[in-house]
Each structure stands twice: as C-alpha cells, then as structure tokens.
Amino acid sequence: MNAGFGGSPGMRQQIVLSGFGGQGILFLSRLLAEAAIAGGFPVLTSETHGMAQRGGVVVSHLKVGGFYSPLVRAGRADMLLVLKEENVPLHREFLADGGALIVNAPLPPDAGPGVRVHALDADALALSAGAPHAVNLILLGFALARIGGGAAGGFFCAAGEVREALSRRQGGGGGRLGDALSALDLGIAHGT
C-alpha cells in the first residue's frame, strides 16, 4: 500500500475495478468515489467502457489522495477488484507487489507471487439470495471485510461510510436501498 495509507491526511490509494458491461463496475467506482469525497479525500476516476452495453470489458481506475493523473499505471494498484474471473489475466499487471486481488471466483486463481488473493463466489451467493444483479455489492462488502476499511493497510473507508454513500445514491430509503444494503452485508458476512 502507498505511504500514508489508511485514512491519514497523506493517504493515497489506487484501485482498479474490472468486469463486463452490466455488472455495475461504473456504479461501484462512483460509489467509492462518493465515499472518498465524503471522507474529505481528493479523488480521480477514469473509465473505459466502449462495449459495455454489449457485455464487453469495463475497467475503472480510482485514485484516492493527492494524485495528478486518473490512470493507474502498471504495477501501482493497491487493489484489483474483479467481477469476472476471466479478467484477472487482462488486468493483473496493474497490481503492485503486495497488492490485493479481490475476485469473484469459486476458487482463488493463480495471480503470481507477491499478490494477496481473496476469492468469493459472489455469483452463487447472489443467485441464492435471489439478487443476481447484486454481485458487485456482494464482492465490495467481501473486500471491505477481508481487507478492512479505515485502518492502515485497508480501504480508505470503512463499511459504514460505504453504507452512507449507498444511502445517498439510492435516494435515502425504500426497497432498492434495503436490497443494496442487504447485498453489501451479505458480502461482509462472508469476508469476516
């Protein structure tokens, strides 16, 4: 992780999110950016989603802290969150030594040396919960619990801050918010 990481004033974190169109990568990126802004951190994002509507690869770069460019360079990402296991070989190069790979997969894939791999079959969990479109929030909840939030070595924010950002994005209440929070909590439960 970058120096000063973990919620301190000099905190800097780089995250790459990867998936296919329709999986909610852009939603996750915006949700995390909103949590960072609410926490008083500067944030930069960049998205690649040319064929997203046709199920193509979608990649989002998120930088929290004092950065000047929105793109994460190869070997610099603190975390790589992958919603489709097939994307691991495509985007593994972004991870720094000691970085965390959080992947939607039944078994941890081989990501090479120096990578902390955390796998969860979020597809199966989402189906069993009757929420097949909630894979993104389930995997984010898992990552928050497994990596930790708001402390040195973890996410720049804690699960509570993501819940608050989710409440703001989902209009503050109703069934959609309840479903979204349930998905996040399901992931958290499987990450602890």
Nearest to 129 by CA among 55, 181, 164, 168: 181
pLDDT digits (tens, 9 = 90+) for 31-84: 999 999 999 999 999 987 666 556 788 999 999 998 988 999 999 999 999 999
Q: CB–CB of 152/6 below 8 Å?
A: yes
Report the pLDDT averaged over residues 93-118. 92
CA distance 87 to 96: 17
pLDDT digits (tens, 9 = 90+) for 143-192: 999 998 665 567 889 999 999 999 998 775 668 888 999 999 999 999 98
Nearest to 143 by CA among 154, 153, 151, 152: 154
pTM: 0.90
Domains defined for the chain, CATH in brackets: 13-191 (3.40.920.10)
Residue 8 neighbours by CB under 8 Å, 6+ apart: none
| Angle value at C-alpha 107, between 103 and 113, nearest 5 degrees | 70
pLDDT digits (tens, 9 = 90+) for 108-151: 988 888 899 999 999 999 999 999 999 999 999 999 999 986 65
